[in-house]
Amino acid sequence: MQTDIHEAALVYRGFRYLKLAVLMVVAAVVAYVMHAPMGSPNGGTWLGYTLGGAGALLIVWLAYFGIRKRRYQSGRGLLRGWLSAHVYLGLALIIIVTLHTGFQFGWNVHTLAYALMILVIASGIFGIYAYARYPSLASESSGGMRFDEMLLAIAEIDRECRQASLKLGQEINQEVLRSCQQTRVGGPAYRQLSGTEPDCPTTRALGNVRGLAAQVPAEDAGDVRKLLTLLAKKVELLARARALVQFRALWNIWLYAHIPLSFALLAALLAHIVSVFFYW
């Protein structure tokens, strides 16, 4: 559902907001090229103030999208329209605000506001990609299973592994026990983001049991084959579960970055405006 909404937003009403964004950018570029200020172009000329005012209004209006999105979450048409404007007008901001600066940057609040704007837009682009791509990737990785279903399936495999290993000797039993007790899904943030477990106890147990299989009496060969099949299935499920955790972690990073950065941008924008009108 969310994927459909975000993909549809990009083509909303025949790319209405893309066309508007292109028109705004072309107008800004033409005005900038034709403008002949005394001295070098900067934000203090009439064009600089015009572009700066337009950019500030766009930033505030686009920041309001977060509130608007929640208010109209039940109206998909309105949501698509707002999201489409959010994406394309946000991208147009890069050109408009860059022209507003006159390509003059320094170690000051003005450049800070510009840098925060770029970060917000970049994180927004990632958010759109995540909304459009990650649900399908997660679905492909999970094989149609929910995360809680995977954990239940892994727990059931652990039970079957312990049962299958009862007659297979102490070494194999210890490998199975370590696989059951020490295998983790998730963990620290860096581990979640990697989507892997380099020294996974279950993967290690699978390899070790294969090596120990030759020592098992012939009458227990069926139990060994069953155990190896179960461990291989568990390794596969763990890979899927860790992929889902990775997708969730990436999504949470976006949430924790885009929204705070947006508030930081609004604060820096206010400081920029106050410093321009009261201290310059």
Region of poorest pLDDT, from 85-94, 184-193, 222-231, 268-277: 184-193
Domain ranges in the chain are 2-143+250-279, 147-247
The whole-number pLDDT of residue 117 equals 96
Band (pLDDT 50/70/90 cuts) for residue 279 is low
Band (pLDDT 50/70/90 cuts) for residue 118 is very high
Sign of torsion over alpha carbons 88, 102, 276, 268: positive
Given a cut of 90, whether residue 187 has pLDDT beyond it is: no
Distance from C-alpha of 200 to C-alpha of 181, rounded to nearest angstrom = 11
Question: What average pLDDT does the segment 233-244 reach?
Answer: 93
Given a cut of 50, whether residue 2 has pLDDT beyond it is: no
Question: What average pLDDT does the segment 231-241 reach?
Answer: 95
pLDDT tens-digit profile of 127-172?
887 777 776 666 666 677 888 999 999 999 999 999 999 888 899 9
- Of 205, 153, 152, the closest CA to residue 183 belongs to 205
Side chain identity, residue 155: A
